[in-house]
């Protein structure tokens, strides 16, 4: 009888790795998130490594040698600077520190460790000796104070210095983040300040980040960085009492909110929404077709030329299947170019506006001494590949389908996307527009105004007025002026435009709201966002007590209710981002901008009795208000609907494209509430003017606030007094 074979021993060798950095003569701190590689070299590889070490080869030569060997495992150090590789067989291993190294030539990046048997537990340590030191300097009344400690009221300036003459950048791929209450005042955090408000001992600290090394020729990823905390103890004494004479006054002000990198993205959303405004659109169209030279701001000049180049390309590719339509055709192509260029907020160069952006942030009590583009690219966007960064929200969506490839597109096919996979352009630079803009324009009677004009242009009598006189009986557009041909093209193109039914179903799919009227009877949606109105209005209602607390300089406003409301709205919005979401909002925007531009034509003054003394912000608005007056429609000005469209779009874009589902600290919600305060309060005021529902009142009415806006508008129209 044969004996059974003994089971093979399970490999159980271990290597414990510690990474520490020196911050002073006798102080060492752990390095967190160090990127470690475990390599199992052959005997020949080890011999070659020893030869290079004996020859004192350069770090680049060593890296090229070891970089060609296969990596067995990778790991990162934890908060205590420790990492472990276990389950190892007997043999020799190399543990490599794969981040930017300190500027000392004696640092050994590759350590050889021997596992002699299954019970071996080897220990090794990487000791980084960065040359960087924190240099504190105390200032009082703007003057440098040459003393070893500070006084209450001083401003402490901390500089990150490497102390090496002639070495401008001893550690490429390294950057610094000051730890609050220090605030960065210089690029890359090399100079920060804080005010000393109390006596005692404190410290100034800076987090040093060291990017992970990438293969040769690739840019290090700053988001995959090892980091450690360098600090300097600070002693603060009581300042000498000063004799004060005269009147004494005190002043309280709000504390500045903590900087969040997402603020740079919100700034782009706000700038893009303003770039898509009608006044900018009219300026662009007049420049193209009327030989007007607009006074374009410096930050807009390059984007202005890009729109013109996009129009020249589209003009050759767009055609209409009916005659005498060139005017309408080129207007349509120019509008498409205008929308496509301005809606992509992540298109380089980024549409930051320098001083304008800084002043806006300052008015919101948000830090304005940051370089917005640097914050956006380095700290907020997520790497898609070596050269491309995308929004964190879209990066999460991409990670859910890692097996789906990204389709690059082909210019020779005019960007036609036919192959299976993700469309790269929509990941990298999504067109950021909200359909709520079109919804409120439609509720404001913009589309109905153009439809009434188009019917009268075709000699069709208004059905609503029965046997009475047609309100547009005096509308006669002579053939000598361009408006005649534009209206001809508009009427002929009806079969190619979105219908009111098509838009109505998509309003419901995005936001659970829809139009109310004869044109949209038998409405039967398959998927509706029934909770959106309730969730969005709850968010707006949560803002009012926050703003009251935030305006009180003795209270720290609580942003947790706002964060929870933002999460709820973000979840509902993301559920509706499917099917027609990618194309219908931009198509609706193009069509409605064209309608606004035609209504702004001076010819309409001849048969629409407008009120010239009303200061409408956009020139097409008085035409819509005039049409509403003569047709007996709602007497609420289109200006309020335009505010709902403009402010609602900006608010929802900032919610939809931010990664709220992964935010648990209310600091970001605090910054959101301050940044978007004008838009939020402007939306609430316009909503009260349009529907009669006051979202700012201290007594909520949940049932009324969750009612469909179109129902409220119909009720107000029915209650409107009629003149016989």
Q: What are 190-233's pLDDT values in tens digits?
A: 788 888 888 888 888 888 888 888 766 566 666 678 888 888 88
Q: What is the pLDDT of residue 166?
A: 47
Packed helices 638-656 and 677-691: angle between N→C axes, nearest 10 degrees: 140
Tell me what pLDDT residue 60 has. Answer: 72
Q: Which of 211-225, 320-334, 501-515, 687-701 has the lowest mean pLDDT?
A: 211-225
Domain ranges of the chain: 13-128, 133-238, 264-428, 436-719
Q: What is the pLDDT of residues 119-129, one digit of tens each?
A: 788 888 988 88
DSSP 339-406: HHHHHBTTPSSP---THHHHHHHHHTT----S-HHHIIIIIISEESSSS-EE-HHHHHHHHH-TTSPE
- DSSP structural state of residue 242: -
Nearest to 232 by CA among 135, 154, 144: 135
Higher pLDDT pick, 18 / 406: 18
**Contact (Cβ atoms closer than 8 angstroms) between residue 183 and residue 156:** no
With H, G, I as helix, E, B as strand and everything else as coil, classify residue 483: helix
Task: Write the CB contacts of 69 (distance below 8 Å, at least 6 apart in sequence).
Answer: 39, 41, 45, 94
- pLDDT above 90: percentage of residues in the chain: 28
Query: What does the pLDDT read at residue 184?
Result: 75
DSSP 431: B
- Do residues 303 and 275 touch, judged by C-beta distance below 8 A? yes
Identify the weakest region by mean pLDDT among 218-227, 272-281, 512-521.
218-227
Could you check whether the bond before residue 389 is cis, i.e. omega within 30 degrees of 0? no
Distance from C-alpha of 85 to C-alpha of 716, rounded to nearest angstrom? 71
Q: Show the tokens assigned to 193.
A: 């300040």
Distance spanning both ends of the chain, measured CA to CA: 115
- The whole-angstrom separation of Cα 159 and Cα 186 is 10
Number of H helices, E strands in the chain: 23, 21
Mean pLDDT of the chain: 83
- The rounded percent of the chain whose pLDDT value lies above 70 is 84
Q: Do the domains 13-128 and 133-238 sit in the same CATH topology, yes or no?
A: yes
More confident residue, 60 or 724: 60
From CA 567, how far away is CA 348, in angstroms rounded?
Answer: 29
pTM value is 0.65
597 vs 277: CA distance, rounded Å: 12
Secondary structure in 3-state letters for 690-714: HHCCCCCCCCCCHHHHCCCHHHHHH
**447 touches 455 (CB < 8 A):** no
Q: Quick count: other Cβ atoms within 10 Å of Cβ 420?
A: 8
DSSP helix/strand/coil, 629? helix
| Whole-number pLDDT of residue 248 | 59
**DSSP 8-state code for residue 606:** G
Name the pLDDT band for 177 (thresholds 50, 70, 90): confident
For residue 115, count other CB atoms closer than 10 A to its CB. Answer: 22
What is the C-alpha separation between 561 and 539, in angstroms, rounded?
8
Do residues 44 and 81 make contact, with C-beta atoms less than 8 angstroms apart?
no
Q: What is the pLDDT averaged over residues 476-496?
A: 88
Span 254-280, average pLDDT: 86
pLDDT at 649: 95
Between 191 and 669, the higher pLDDT residue: 669
Torsion angle, alpha carbons of 568, 390, 176, 74, to 10: 100
624 CB neighbour count, 10 Å cutoff: 29
Structure tokens at 635: 């007497």
What distance in Å separates the CA atoms of residue 448 and residue 468, rounded to the nearest whole number?
20
Q: What's the CATH superfamily of 13-128?
A: Immunoglobulins (2.60.40.10)
Instruction: Judge whether residue 168 has pLDDT over 60.
Output: no
In this model, does residue 372 exceed pLDDT 90?
no
**Which CATH code, of 2.30.30, 2.40.128, 3.40.50, 2.60.40, is assigned to 133-238?**
2.60.40
Burial status of residue 651 (CB atoms within 10 A of its CB: 0-12, 13-18, 19 or more): buried
Residue with tokens 């700034």, as numbered in its chain: 267
Q: Which of 297-301, 422-426, 677-681 has the lowest mean pLDDT?
A: 297-301
677-698: average pLDDT: 94
Question: Poorest-confidence range of 404-408, 425-429, 526-530, 546-550?
Answer: 404-408
What are the pLDDT digits (tens) for 559-611? 999 999 999 999 999 999 999 988 999 999 999 999 999 999 888 888 888 88
Measured between alpha carbons, how far is 163 from 135 in angstroms, rounded to an integer? 10
Contact present, 220 and 213 (Cβ < 8 Å): yes
Across the range 261-290, mean pLDDT stands at 89
Q: What is the pLDDT of residue 453?
A: 92
Question: How many CB atoms are closer than 10 A to CB 495?
Answer: 8
For 713, residues 6+ apart whose C-beta sits below 8 A from its C-beta are 443, 516, 634, 690, 691
Average pLDDT of the residues in 526-537: 93
pLDDT at 274 over 80: yes
If one counts every other C-beta atom within 10 angstroms of the C-beta of residue 710, the result is 20
Residue 406 predicted with pLDDT over 50: yes
pLDDT at residue 408, rounded to an integer: 62
pLDDT score of 481: 85
DSSP 32: B
User: What is the structure's pLDDT at 242?
Assistant: 55
- Non-local (6+) Cβ contacts of 660 within 8 A are 563, 566, 567, 570
| 211-215 own/partner pairs: CB under 8 Å, 24+ apart | 211/99, 211/100, 211/173, 211/174, 212/35, 212/98, 212/99, 213/35, 213/63, 213/98, 213/99, 213/100, 213/173, 214/386, 215/67
Looking at residues 424-448, what average pLDDT do you find? 90
User: Would you state the pLDDT for residue 423?
Assistant: 75
Most distant CA atoms of the chain, gap in Å: 115
Long-range contacts of 611-617 (CB under 8 A, 24+ apart): 617/279, 617/642
Give the pLDDT band (50/70/90) at residue 674.
very high
The 10s digit of each residue's pLDDT in 343-362 is 888 887 888 888 888 889 88
The CA distance from 423 to 384, in Å, is: 13
Report the half-sphere exposure of 194 (CA within 13 A, side-chain side): 20
Identify the top-confidence range among 334-338, 555-559, 671-675, 719-723: 671-675
Angstrom distance (rounded) from CA 184 to CA 165: 24
The pLDDT value given to residue 724: 46
Q: What is the pLDDT of residue 325?
A: 72
Tens digits of residue pLDDT in 609-625: 888 888 889 999 999 99
């Amino acid at each position: 009888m044969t004996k059974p074979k003994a089971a093979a021993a399970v490999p159980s060798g271990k290597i414990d790795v510690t990474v520490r950095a020196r911050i002073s003569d006798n102080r060492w701190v752990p390095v967190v998130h160090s990127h470690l590689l475990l390599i199992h070299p052959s005997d020949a590889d080890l011999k070659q490594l020893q030869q290079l070490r004996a020859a004192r080869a350069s770090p680049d030569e060593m890296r090229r040698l070891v970089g060609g060997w296969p990596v067995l495992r990778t790991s990162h150090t934890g908060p205590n600077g420790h990492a472990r590789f276990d389950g190892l067989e007997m043999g020799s291993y190399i543990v490599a520190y794969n981040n930017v190294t300190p500027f000392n030539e004696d640092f050994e990046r590759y350590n050889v460790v021997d596992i002699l048997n299954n019970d071996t537990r080897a220990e090794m340590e990487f000791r980084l000796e960065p040359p960087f030191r924190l240099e504190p300097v105390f200032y009082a009344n703007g003057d440098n104070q040459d003393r070893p400690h500070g006084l209450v009221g001083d401003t402490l300036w901390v500089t990150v210095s490497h102390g090496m003459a002639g070495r401008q950048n001893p550690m490429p791929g390294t950057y610094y983040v000051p730890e609050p209450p220090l605030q960065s005042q210089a690029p890359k955090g090399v100079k920060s300040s804080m005010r000393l408000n109390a006596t005692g001992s404190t410290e100034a600290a800076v987090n040093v980040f060291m990017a992970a090394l990438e293969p040769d020729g690739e840019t290090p990823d700053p988001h995959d960085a090892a980091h450690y905390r360098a600090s300097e103890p600070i002693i603060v004494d009581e300042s000498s009492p000063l004799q004060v004479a005269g009147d004494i006054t005190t002043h309280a002000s709000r504390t500045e909110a903590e900087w969040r990198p997402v603020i740079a993205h919100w700034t782009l959303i706000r700038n893009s929404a303003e770039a898509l405004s009608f006044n900018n659109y009219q300026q662009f169209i007049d420049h193209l077709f009327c030989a007007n030279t607009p006074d374009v701001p410096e930050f807009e000049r390059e984007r202005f030329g890009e729109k013109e180049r996009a129009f020249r390309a589209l003009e050759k590719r767009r055609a209409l299947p009916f005659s005498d339509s060139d005017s309408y055709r080129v207007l349509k192509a120019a509008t498409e170019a205008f929308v496509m260029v301005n809606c992509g907020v992540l298109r380089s160069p980024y549409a930051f506006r320098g001083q304008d952006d800084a002043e806006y942030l300052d008015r919101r009590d948000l830090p304005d001494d940051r370089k917005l583009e640097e914050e956006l690219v380095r700290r907020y966007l997520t790497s898609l590949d070596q050269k491309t960064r995308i929004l964190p929200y879209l990066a999460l969506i991409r990670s859910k389908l890692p097996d789906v490839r990204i389709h690059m597109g082909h210019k020779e096919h005019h960007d036609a996307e036919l192959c299976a996979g993700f469309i790269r352009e929509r990941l990298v630079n999504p067109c950021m527009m909200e359909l709520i803009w079109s919804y409120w324009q439609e509720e404001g009677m913009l589309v109905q105004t153009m439809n009434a004009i188009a019917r009268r242009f075709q000699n069709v009598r208004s059905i609503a007025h029965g046997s009475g006189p047609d309100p547009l009986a005096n509308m006669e557009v002579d053939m000598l002026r361009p408006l005649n041909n534009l209206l001809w093209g508009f009427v002929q193109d009806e079969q190619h435009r979105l219908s009111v039914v098509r838009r109505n179903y998509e309003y419901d799919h995005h936001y659970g709201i829809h139009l109310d009227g004869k044109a949209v009877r038998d409405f039967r949606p398959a998927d509706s966002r029934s909770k959106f109105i309730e969730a969005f209005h709850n968010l707006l209602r949560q803002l009012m007590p926050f703003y009251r607390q935030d305006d009180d300089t003795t209270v720290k406003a609580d942003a947790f209710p706002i964060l929870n409301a933002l999460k709820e709205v973000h979840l509902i919005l993301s559920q509706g981002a499917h099917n027609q979401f990618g194309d219908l909002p931009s198509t609706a925007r193009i069509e409605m901008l064209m309608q606004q531009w035609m209504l702004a034509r001076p010819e309409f003054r001849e048969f629409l009795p407008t009120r010239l003394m009303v200061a409408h912000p956009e020139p097409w608005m008085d035409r819509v208000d005039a049409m509403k007056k003569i047709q007996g429609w709602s007497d609420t000005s289109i200006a309020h609907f335009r505010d709902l469209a403009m402010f609602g779009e900006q608010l929802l874009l900032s919610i939809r494209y931010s990664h709220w589902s992964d935010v648990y600290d209310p600091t970001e919600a605090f910054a959101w509430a301050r940044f978007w305060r004008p838009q939020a309060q402007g939306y609430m005021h316009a909503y009260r003017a349009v529907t009669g529902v006051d979202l700012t009142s201290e007594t909520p009415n949940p049932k009324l606030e969750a009612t469909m806006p179109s129902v409220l508008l119909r009720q107000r129209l029915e209650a409107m007094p009629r003149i016989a």
